[in-house]
Copies of this chain bind each other. A is one copy, B any other.
Amino acid sequence: MSSEPLAFELSQRGHRTTDQPISYLMAEALRRPNLISLAAGFVDDQTLPREAVAEAAAQLLSDPQTARSALQYGTTQGYSPLREAICEHLNALDHTPGRYQPQDVVVTTGSQQLLHLLTEVLIDPGGIVVTAWPTYFVYTGVLEAFGAQVRGVDMDEQGIIPEALDETLSRLEREGHLPGAGAGIVYITSYHQNPTGLTLSAQRRPRIVDIVRRHSEKAGRRILIVEDAAYRELTFHGEAPPSLRSFDEKGEYVALLQTFSKPFAPGMKTGYGLLPRDLVGSVLLQKTGRDFGSSNFNQQILNLVLRNGAFEAHVKKLCAAYAVKRDAMLAALDEHLGNIPGAGVTWTKPAGGLYVWLTLPPGMDAGRDGRLFGRSLEQGVLFVPGEYCYPPDPTRQAPGNTIRLSFGVADAQQIRRGVERLGQAIASLGRE
C-alpha cells in the first residue's frame, strides 16, 4: 500500500504566503536559453567588485586578530565600526555632518530583511500600509502574507503625489481604518523607484514628511515612513536629492533603508537602516529570534571597502556602465516603440537605477495571460508584466497595460535587440 503522508497544518501566515510571480518568469527565462531577459532586477555580472572584495578579504584574514574577530559571532545590531562608516556615508550623502548616529543603525541580511522586520514589528492583520501605485512587487507579496490593509497612491514624474497621499490617509481616517491594527506604514522608494525608475522630487520630500506627521497627530499614534533607498547611489549624473529622512529633523517618522546589494555586491547580502531610536529595540528583539545578527564576516569586509574608498570608486564605475545601458534602452525605445501605428506607447526616463516603465494604450493587455506576453516570448524577449507591481489595494483596479523593463543584466546590444523584439510584438498585435 503506498500511503500519502499526513498533511502538515500550516499557520495562517503560511497559508497567506503565495508564490512570487517572478518565480514563473525566472523559470521561463531558464527554459528558453535564447530569450533576452529584460525582466530580472539583478545587477550586471561584469561590474561586480571582484578586486575590492578580494583585497579586503585578504587584508582581514592576513592578521590573526582581525581574522578572529571577523570569523566569530558578531552582534545582532551589526558590526559597530561598519555602523559608524554607514553614518558617515549617509551624512555625506545628505550633507548632514555628524547628524546620524551608529546607535540608530541596524545591519540586516539585505535591506529586504529590514523591510520585513519593520512590517513584523508594526503590522498585524488588518494593519494599514500605504504604498506607491505601482510599487516594489516583492513587498506586495509580503503585505499579502501579513494580511495588511493596503492602499496605493498615484505617482507622476516627480514621484508619489503628496495630495494623493494626504487624501488616501484622510479617507482611511474617515473609514475608521486609521488608527487601526498596528501603527501604519507609508512605504516609499524614494530614488529611481522599482518599478518605474521615478525619483521623488526634492520639493515634495518635506511635504511628504509633514503629511505623515499631521496624520499621525490626528490618529494619536505614529505612522512610520519606510524610505526604501536601495537605488540611491545609482544616480548616473549630478546629485540625487537629500533623503526623506533628512527632512525628519528629530528622526521620529522615517526609517531610511539602504543596501550594499545594488551599489556594490548582492552576494554579500548586506543592507542597513537608520531607524527612529525608539524602534531600534523592537527590531533587534525580532532579529535576535531570527538570526541574532547577519554575517559578521561580510560586514567586516564591507567596513573596509567603505573606509578605503573602494565602495565610492565602484559606485562611480557602476553609474558610468549603467548610464550607457539606460541610454541604449531609451534610444531603442524611441526607435522601435516611438512610432508604432495605432499604439501610443509612453515610458519613463529614469535618472538612475535599473528600470524603465512602459505604458501601452489602455486597451492593450500586457499581463502574463495576455496576448502580448506570449507574443513577446515567441519573439524572444521577456519583461515583467506591470500587473505584478500593483499592491493588493481592494479599492482600486490595477491597470493591465504596463510593463517593467530592466537594463540591469543584459548588455547594450541585447537591450537594443530585446526592445526591437518587443516593438515587433506590439506592432504585430496592433496589425491584428
Contacts and interface: CB of A to CB of B under 8 A. Distances in A.
Given A64-B50, A269-B294, A282 B10 contact: yes
Contacts of A10: 121-122, 182-183, 282
Interface stretch (A87-95, A153-161, A285-293): A285-293
The complex is assembled from copies of this chain, and their number is: 2
A127 interface: yes
B127 A8 contact: no
B295 A5 contact: no
A203 interface: no
A269 to B, nearest CB: 4
A290 B113 contact: yes
Contacts of A300: 267
A145 interface: yes
A71 B54 contact: no
A17 B54 contact: no
B48 A68 contact: yes
A127 B11 contact: yes
A206 interface: no
Contacts of A70: 267
Interface in A47-77: 48-50, 53-54, 57-58, 61-62, 64, 67-68, 70-74
B11 A289 contact: no
Interface stretch (A163-171, A216-224, A233-241, A368-376): A216-224
Taking residues whose C-beta sits less than 8 angstroms from the other chain, chain A's interface range is 35 or more
A336 to B, nearest CB: 29
A252 B71 contact: no
Given A5-B250, A11-B120, A54-B58, A293 B269 contact: yes
B296 A269 contact: yes
A181 B224 CA distance: 32
A104 to B, nearest CB: 14
A248 to B, nearest CB: 11
A397 interface: no
Nearest to A20: B288
A102 interface: no
B296 A9 contact: no
A61 B71 contact: no
Contact of A68 (B50, B120, B298): B50
A304 interface: no
A116 B381 CA distance: 39
Given A42-B72, A72-B45, A290-B113, A13 B120 contact: yes
Contact of A50 (B19, B54, B71, B181): B71
Contact of A138 (B72, B121, B289): B289
Interface in A324-355: none
Contacts of A58: 54, 57-58
Interface string A15-31: 00111100000000000
A53 B293 CA distance: 20
A35 interface: no
A113 B269 contact: no
A289 B6 contact: no
